[in-house]
Amino acid sequence: MFDQIGLILLTSSLIVAGLVGVVVPFLPGVPLAWLGLFIYGLATGFETVTWTWLIIFGVLTAFTFVLDFMGPAMGASAKKGSKWAVIGSIIGTIGGVALFGPIGIIIGPLIGAFVGEYIVERNYKDALIKSYGAFMGYVAAMLIKVAIVIAMGVYFLIALI
């Protein structure tokens, strides 16, 4: 019985850490939540947490890595940014993470979209609007990741019943 409670606490902790990790840039949020489900499934012989759902959540987890890079780019594009704002956002995301670590995933696309648009338009107000779009794309991606982790948590709760 204690082992089961410990396993439930470990899985729950990883899902909660995953939810926090979606908001706090230095934690791999969605992968932590998926890991919790995987550990629980492995320990219980995949009776309640099934391979089917682990694969579905695994695909969604992989999708979040794409979202981290493409969310800001799509946001810059939605604000009628030039292709250079979009390219700048993608380069800024990669460079931001490389130079500034986890916080770079927030500031990199903003700077990249601004620089990319400013090079083309030479208008700092337009470039600021495009970088705001990149930020909103980041926020939208974060909200999608929150929804995925919440879905994992709800699935886990249902699996326990």
Q: What is the pLDDT of residue 60?
A: 97
Q: For residues 25 and 13, is the Cβ–Cβ distance under 8 A?
A: no
Q: What is the pLDDT of residue 68?
A: 80
Q: For residues 113 and 133, is the Cβ–Cβ distance under 8 A?
A: yes
Cβ-count burial 136-146 (b if 16+ within 10 Å, e if not): bbbebbbebbb
What length is written for the chain?
A: 161
Close Cβ partners of 61 (under 8 Å, ≥ 6 residues apart): 30, 31, 34, 148
Q: Which residues of the chain have pLDDT under 50?
A: none
Copy the structure tokens of residue 66.
């794409």
The pTM of the full predicted model, rounded to 2 decimals, is 0.83
State the total domains in the chain: 1
Euclidean distance between CA atoms 122 and 138, whole angstroms? 24
Q: What is the pLDDT of residue 49?
A: 94
Domain encompassing residue 89: 2-160
Euclidean distance between CA atoms 102 and 36, whole angstroms? 22
Per-residue pLDDT tens over the stretch 62-104: 999 888 878 877 877 776 767 888 888 888 888 888 888 778 8
Close Cβ partners of 33 (under 8 Å, ≥ 6 residues apart): 14, 15, 17, 18, 19, 148, 149, 152, 153
